[in-house]
A and B are shown apart, each in its own frame.
Chain A
């Protein structure tokens, strides 16, 4: 177990910079998830921590030790790859014990550790099979087993669940979480799936174009997105965005209607400033069918464009100030396109961003 510190870490391929100076401290035992759209440099960052990629600039420290020039084997980390990377010519037992054998451990020691890992991951009956004889979920478990037998300082995961079907992914997600609670080793986990990030992380690092957009607990990132990118990337469906200007403590939308937002949001905004009002679908609901009915709100009469019933809730597409907006209706109730309903916007849960920079105007 160890703390991992990145200071100004950069990656360049020739003139192309794919990671632009990342600063991040991962506490001992913490589960940190790097999340962001494909190609944003998550894997590259993780591979620089692992030593599989040269570090073009800055410093990586594991447990206080600068590891920039150390090969992977001297960093005492283990890694789970997207394609599992199990050794096809070895059975599960040898796959699990490979690292210990290389390290020169005694056969007794190896057997003990392999059994221990097999116990934790429920692999005891599969030890004599080869990877080709395993299902996707079992391979995934072996890959995790191989990571834990060595008792490393940190686990690195690179999109470990993306090759599994949806059901198995949910199961394995829970297993990874349980595993972490059991072994309490530092974890750096890469994914492009915000649901995985939200469910697994102690802290989420949202990345875009080789830069960190926001670092925070899942709740911080969800409730207080630092900018429009984070606001729309985290949460499903993506947050609704309505352009407007500040006018007398309210946001005046494109059609001239004024939405009175809490002073907490406008505190840092100037009169006449171009802004973007952000509000999640969960916070726009027909009256009587929302999550919260108290607190500041605004009521609007809107007509339904499309309704997608999901059982206990429905996703409703409607228009506000000429802009398509998604809303949620809680409770089983049938609505049809063309219905005119009164929607309540839970404005205490709204977000306000500077239109030019995209940054949140919320005073924290």
Chain B
């Protein structure tokens, strides 16, 4: 399969009064054409920063891409000038931001905002632009698009505004859509509509999607592959099946155990004790050590080497090391 996007050893840091925040610390992943990759992880683990780095939208200063490269369709876009980036943003790669309300300009009509991208990037104007805008509104399921085109954002409900944001992101027919928590601010019945919409659009257009979320239910529903982030690193990645049925990292296990399941009876929730580490001074070893029930001496001091369990499934954990397995077996026997 063709790789549309590859991220190699990405590091992003922010300088603040308190010191340097190492928000993303060596992230690697890839995305095939037409697939959906979900990036999951707790608040502050670096999901949004990773996607902003791909789009080169890190506010600089205080932020900086310290190291690493991003390849899009075989080209190293981390070397692109701002002008070159502008020609792919919104055209080949589109992004839906975490907060749907701030993505729209309250002073402009929905129609104007929808057609802005077409004019700017593809010089499409007039009737052609209008009919394209109507087509997009139809695609995202807005009734009476003709009248709606003339209205302002405040005349739309939260769910409809999010549909418009999606329409704006898709109007130039990008090959990659990065959706940062596109449904977190929405109610579940509206979320169900939007997720259905993603699935339909992907089937129709073959677009690739990076979906950032912390909702494992959403992931189970629409992802093909999953990357689990913790404290600026991807600690485990694999297919949906790898991660839901054969997860290896204690953090991934803990995460899955801490979410309540609507369909199961009364089990006690098992939270992960403690909190994620401070990114001002991330531990030199595995960042999960302090919360990990299986932590060993080595975990504190050395970051684990990546173990490839299969071509799709990779884990950063010392427990994967054969010697650790022997150690565990020995302690279990005692």
A binds B: no
Residues of A within 8 A of B (CB): none
Residues of B within 8 A of A (CB): none
